[in-house]
Amino acid sequence: MKSGTIFAVASGVGKAGVAVIRISGDAAESIFSAFAVTCPSPRRAGRVKLCDPKTGGLLDDALALWFPSPKSFTGEDVVELQVHGGRAVIDGVLLALSRLPGFRMAEAGEFTRRAFENNKMDLTAAEGLADLVDADTTAQRDQALRQMAGALGDLYEDWRIRLLQATAHLETTIDFSEEDLPPGLEADVRSRVEALRQAIETHLQQGHRGVRLREGVRVAILGAPNAGKSSLLNRLAQREAAIVSATAGTTRDVIEVHLDLAGIPVILSDTAGIRDTSDHVEVEGVRRALTQAAEADFKIVLSDLSRDPPLSQEILDLLDDSAVLVANKSDISVAGGGQEVTPTVVISALTGNGIDALMDLLEDKVKERFQLLEQPGLTRARHQRALEQCVESLMRFEEIPSILLLPELAAENLRSACASLGHITGRVDVEDLLDVIFRDFCIGK
Ligand SMILES: Nc1nc2c(ncn2[C@@H]2O[C@H](COP(=O)(O)OP(=O)(O)O)[C@@H](O)[C@H]2O)c(=O)[nH]1
Ligand SMILES: [Mg+2]
């Protein structure tokens, strides 16, 4: 851990009524004598008239909070100053702090890193905190709060302890001769490992929900040119995000808008109309549309009721479990327009007819697939990789024909599975990982 007493503005940038300056480290308490003010009692606010130690001029009439170690965010001595939010006030206080012996500006994520290093939180909780700071929607907030409270860390730690127990059980066999071994030991260890592997695999399968909640659920609007995809995107986004035109092939690139559906972040994309074309820019647009279709968590496939038939075969092919068929242009529907597949919703992107029903449907679909599960979900690719490595080690263990004949090899596989789990929470040596994780934090966190 890098030494020194660190300080930074912990509140946001831009003009605000109040700014919070956080100070952490051995010398934190020295600011009270340096500014010639009284240190308030622990965890109680005290009013402090901060004067520049160098010039004696008044910097601000502020509030101070004193959190002596270990009962603080970082586990170290911490002082938090609530100063007025003006730039000159903040700059004056920061400059005065930087002149104090042993003080320096904090690096990005350094406060949280110290909290981790002082065992105030594990890595998953630290990542939860970063997600909480970034959360835009209620479901993102709930997931981050749960992770910060340790739900994910507890789950992984529980698995790791179960594995450690199985390993310990197995290791006793190394010192025994075969005849002295308790009967059923091999079967017992095997069934424990198998149960655990299955639990991890299920978690991995459901995994992308948590990641999606962090990053946004991808919904793509697809259909033939002129079906009204761009019009629908604009309707749903309630702004003119995409160009609407009667000229087929207008949308060539993928246009994305962000929506908040029942607290779940949704990235809605408008795509080029899918058709056979010789225009090479449009061909690329169609290729991108098909990629979006493949990557989307959910597809809105649009048919055009002003045409007969309203759907082409290429568009019909897009209908699968993750798609809903929405029929557009109900206002100019041609009589007798035969449709092989019954649409789930009929709308008019022009008049707004049916849009509420489509919104409700979309909300239900997104909720059904992505709402918080009972068990906390996987939220990061970092966790996913570690869990996959853990499963691989467990599978290598399971492939050993007789663990009693090869106990060292069996134990080695279990230990490496344990280490993979330990990497997620930071319970093993992870120095190299820390820089990567904390780099993503903002200054003051
Ligand atoms: N009458 C009617 N016209 C629509 C409707 N939706 C879109 N349009 C028109 O259809 C044309 C193509 O729309 P656009 O949204 O650009 O379709 P896209 O090619 O699928 O993106 C435009 O002239 C729109 O005004 C609708 O529900 N009813
Ligand atoms: Mg378009």
Residues 111 and 132 in one domain: no
Report if residue 353 sits inside a domain: yes
225 lines ligand 1 (CB under 6 A): yes
Structure confidence at residue 442 (pLDDT): 66
246 lines ligand 1 (CB under 6 A): yes
Give the closest ligand to the alpha carbon of residue 226. Answer: 1
Structure confidence at residue 312 (pLDDT): 87
Report if residue 400 sits inside a domain: yes
**End position of a domain, from candidates 87, 121, 155:** 121
Structure confidence at residue 373 (pLDDT): 60
Tell me how far apart the 2 most distant CA atoms of the chain are, in Å: 87
Residues 360 and 222 in one domain: yes
Answer whether 263's CB lies under 8 Å from 279's CB.
Answer: no
Q: Which residue has the higher pLDDT, 377 or 33?
A: 33
What value does the CA radius of gyration of the chain take, rounded to a whole number of Å? Answer: 29
Answer whether 202's CB lies under 8 Å from 252's CB.
Answer: no
Residues 171 and 219 in one domain: no
Residue 282 pLDDT > 90:
no
Structure confidence at residue 276 (pLDDT): 83
Residues 248 and 195 in one domain: no
Sign of the torsion angle spanned by Cα atoms 246, 252, 257, 261: positive
Find which of 20-34, 199-213, 304-318 is predicted with most confidence, using mean pLDDT. 20-34
Least confident of 75-84, 163-172, 280-289, 290-299: 163-172
Q: How many domains, in total, are found in the chain?
A: 3
Read off the CATH number of the domain in which 402 is found. Answer: 1.20.120.430
315 lines ligand 1 (CB under 6 A): no
Read off the CATH number of the domain in which 113 is found. Answer: 3.30.1360.120
273 lines ligand 1 (CB under 6 A): yes
Residues 151 and 238 in one domain: no
Report if residue 165 sits inside a domain: yes
Residue 382 pLDDT > 60:
yes
Report if residue 318 sits inside a domain: yes
Report if residue 182 sits inside a domain: yes
How far apart, in Å, are the Cα atoms of 29 and each of 2, 68, 103, 124, 369?
19, 8, 12, 30, 50
From the number of C-beta atoms within 10 Å of its C-beta (0-12, 13-18, 19+), residue 352 rates as exposed
CA 407 to chain CA mean position, Å: 40
Which residue of 226, 234, 279, 345 sits with most ligand 1 atoms within 8 Å of its CB, as the best mutation to test the pocket?
Answer: 226
Residues 234 and 269 in one domain: yes
Q: How far apart are CA 220 and CA 257, in angstroms?
A: 11
Report if residue 260 sits inside a domain: yes
235 lines ligand 1 (CB under 6 A): no
Report if residue 439 sits inside a domain: no
Give the closest ligand to the alpha carbon of residue 255. Answer: 2
**End position of a domain, from candidates 84, 99, 121:** 121
Give the pLDDT confidence of 386-431 residue by residue, as tens digits.
999 999 999 999 999 888 788 888 888 998 999 899 889 887 655 5
Domain that holds residue 156: 125-206+378-426
229 lines ligand 1 (CB under 6 A): yes
Report if residue 419 sits inside a domain: yes
Give the pLDDT confidence of 54-73 residue by residue, as tens digits.
899 999 999 999 999 999 99
Residues 330 and 251 in one domain: yes
Residue 433 pLDDT > 60:
no
The Å distance, Cα 226 to ligand 1 centre, comes to 6
Q: How far apart are CA 129 and CA 5, in angstroms?
A: 22
Residues 95 and 179 in one domain: no
Residues 96 and 221 in one domain: no
Least confident of 105-114, 148-157, 201-210: 201-210
The Å distance, Cα 363 to ligand 1 centre, comes to 23
Read off the CATH number of the domain in which 242 is found. Answer: 3.40.50.300
Percent of the chain with pLDDT over 90: 43
Residues 201 and 237 in one domain: no
Q: Whose CA is nearest to atom 13 of ligand 1?
A: 228
Least confident of 185-194, 244-253, 282-291, 295-304: 244-253
Neighbours of ion ligand 2 (CB under 5 A): 229-230, 251
Which residue of 221, 244, 288 sits with most ligand 1 atoms within 8 Å of its CB, as the best mutation to test the pocket?
Answer: 244
**End position of a domain, from candidates 68, 88, 121:** 121
Instruction: Tell me the average pLDDT of the chain.
Output: 87
Residues 108 and 173 in one domain: no
226 lines ligand 1 (CB under 6 A): yes
Give the closest ligand to the alpha carbon of residue 229. Answer: 1
**Long-range contacts, 167-173 (Cβ 8 Å, 24+):** 167/411, 167/414, 167/415, 167/418, 170/403, 170/407, 170/410, 170/411, 170/414, 171/407, 171/411, 173/403, 173/404, 173/407
Residues 225 and 355 in one domain: yes
Structure confidence at residue 428 (pLDDT): 67
Listed in sequence order, the residues at least 6 apart from 11 whose beta carbon sits closer than 8 Å to its beta carbon are 18, 19, 20, 85, 444
